[in-house]
């Protein structure tokens, strides 16, 4: 079997949910690809004031995407910077922590459990379609204690994954991205990218790749990987004289923080299977049009897939597709509402009654 099927798998795995701050819908579809390598995480109530959404697009297998979907949000929640209110630092460290956790005996064992099979020569593991539900973060946070054993020299998988996450806390959105999955905000109908696609030909990425001893050929890192940042891909992170953020390929994310306002309508997180087919503005326009008649957000995601799916194998529209749509609920101005109610219910003073009677008499006189 090649990289494409003889007919696309159009069955979709979808989910919807909401809380008092937002509602969301998500979906994923294998499409023409021979295997499904995307994963996702959606926790509208990571804690009382925080929501977490992430898309993970695997390459060379799905196991690293699975690993991130299971553990990355847990690491954000348990980091000391998160407890101190520093979301940016906590999510940055959590991205880098994924690479650390996948090394050694426990990392090897966990990857083997998440995957169906392991190629002992390449360290590449592949798996079937999977959802992270079942490892609920609010019930238990895995401390991931270090272990020694026969595989303690395991350096991690040669497969990898992008990671694009949005953390919504109170009135703030923090987006962290490594790879070419993308987060887009719709503000009064206008699309605003909250992440940058990390392609090897970007000047900043190219400079790091070359300094670390890599090269770019045919638009790919060392002629093979068409991403400049990713979690996993240990073969590109072997320079022991360089820190994690300076390796040929790094898991170090770009981080962008924005304050929510009344103009913000919705947020989209999606893998490149979508962005290969639609620009950010095209997707925002399409979603807004669909929301006029469709209230179920996962159904909107499904329609995007159907629109992007190629009629035949090869080229754009043939990749796995995953999309999360987050719609913000407009806050109720309780203070204003209470104030108006008080004004309506407040009894009039004798002076106020006298003024109203005088005004009424004036109006009656003028009408005569």
- Looking at the fold, whether 165 and 268 belong to one and the same domain comes out as yes
The conformation of residue 348, written as its DSSP 8-state character, comes to P
pLDDT at position 145 over 50 = yes
Determine the pLDDT at residue 142.
59
**Terminal Cα-to-Cα distance of the chain (whole angstroms):** 94
- Looking at the fold, whether 217 and 305 belong to one and the same domain comes out as yes
Number of domains in the chain: 2
pLDDT in tens, 310-320: 999 988 999 99
- Looking at the fold, whether 314 and 357 belong to one and the same domain comes out as no
- Looking at the fold, whether 40 and 108 belong to one and the same domain comes out as yes
- Give 130 or 273, the one with higher predicted confidence: 273
pLDDT at position 179 over 70 = yes
- Looking at the fold, whether 278 and 342 belong to one and the same domain comes out as no
pLDDT in tens, 94-106: 999 999 999 888 8
Q: What is the pTM of this model?
A: 0.84
Long-range contacts of 11-14 (CB under 8 A, 24+ apart): 12/302, 12/305, 13/129, 13/131, 14/298, 14/299, 14/301, 14/302
- Looking at the fold, whether 362 and 315 belong to one and the same domain comes out as no
In this structure, what CATH number is given to the domain that contains residue 123?
3.60.40.10
197 to 67, 228, 272, 278: CA distances (angstroms): 22, 9, 9, 14
What tokens appear for 102 in the block? Answer: 């996948």
- Looking at the fold, whether 238 and 347 belong to one and the same domain comes out as no
- Looking at the fold, whether 199 and 239 belong to one and the same domain comes out as yes
Percent of the chain surpassing pLDDT 90: 73
Determine the pLDDT at residue 332.
44
Among 105-114, 226-235, 264-273, the least confident range: 105-114
Determine the pLDDT at residue 5.
96
Predicted confidence band at 151 (pLDDT cuts at 50, 70, 90)?
Answer: low
- Looking at the fold, whether 178 and 320 belong to one and the same domain comes out as yes
- Looking at the fold, whether 246 and 278 belong to one and the same domain comes out as yes
pLDDT at position 58 over 90 = yes
- Looking at the fold, whether 164 and 240 belong to one and the same domain comes out as yes
Residue 205: give the domain boundaries: 4-331
| CB crowding 268-278: b at 16 or more within 10 Å, else e | bbbbbbbbbbb
Among 141-155, 233-247, 322-336, the least confident range: 141-155
With contact defined as beta carbons under 8 Å apart, do 291 and 304 qualify? no
**Strand partners for 323:** 27, 270
pLDDT at position 290 over 90 = yes
Backbone phi, psi, residue 256, to 5° = -130, 135
- Looking at the fold, whether 355 and 315 belong to one and the same domain comes out as no
Determine the pLDDT at residue 147.
54
- Give 244 or 107, the one with higher predicted confidence: 244
pLDDT at position 276 over 50 = yes
pLDDT at position 136 over 50 = no
Among 119-133, 162-176, 201-215, the least confident range: 119-133
């Amino acid at each position: 079997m090649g990289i494409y099927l003889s007919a696309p798998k159009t069955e979709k795995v979808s989910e919807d949910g909401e809380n008092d701050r937002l509602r969301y819908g998500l979906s994923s579809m294998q499409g023409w690809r021979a295997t499904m390598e995307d994963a996702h995480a959606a926790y509208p109530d990571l804690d009382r004031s925080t929501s977490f959404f992430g898309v993970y697009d695997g390459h060379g297998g799905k196991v690293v995407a699975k690993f991130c979907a299971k553990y990355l949000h847990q690491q954000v929640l348990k980091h000391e910077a998160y407890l101190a209110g520093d979301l940016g630092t906590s999510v940055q460290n959590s991205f880098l922590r994924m690479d650390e956790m996948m090394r050694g005996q426990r990392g090897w064992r966990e990857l083997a459990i998440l995957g169906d099979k392991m190629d002992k020569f390449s360290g590449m593991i592949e798996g079937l379609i999977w959802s992270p539900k079942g490892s609920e973060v609010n019930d238990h946070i895995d401390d991931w204690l270090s272990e020694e054993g026969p595989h303690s020299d395991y350096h991690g998988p040669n497969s990898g994954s992008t990671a694009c996450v949005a953390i919504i806390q109170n009135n703030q959105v923090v987006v962290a991205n490594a790879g070419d999955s993308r987060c887009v905000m719709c503000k009064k109908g206008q699309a605003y990218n909250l992440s940058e696609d990390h392609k090897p030909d970007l000047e900043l990425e190219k400079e790091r790749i070359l300094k670390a001893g890599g090269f770019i050929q045919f638009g790919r890192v060392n002629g093979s990987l068409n991403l400049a940042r990713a979690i996993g891909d240990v073969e590109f992170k072997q320079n022991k004289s360089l820190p994690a953020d300076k390796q040929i390929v790094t898991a170090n994310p770009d981080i962008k923080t924005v304050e929510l306002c009344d103009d913000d309508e919705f947020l989209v997180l999606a893998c490149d299977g979508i962005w290969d087919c639609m620009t950010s503005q095209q997707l925002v326009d399409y979603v807004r049009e669909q929301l006029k008649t469709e209230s179920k957000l996962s159904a909107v995601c499904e329609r995007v897939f159907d629109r992007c799916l190629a009629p035949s194998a090869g080229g754009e529209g043939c990749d796995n597709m995953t999309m999360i749509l987050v719609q913000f609920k407009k806050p109720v101005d309780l203070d204003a509402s209470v104030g108006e109610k008080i004004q309506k219910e407040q009894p009039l003073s004798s002076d106020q009654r006298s003024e109203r009677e005088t005004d009424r008499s004036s109006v009656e006189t003028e009408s005569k």
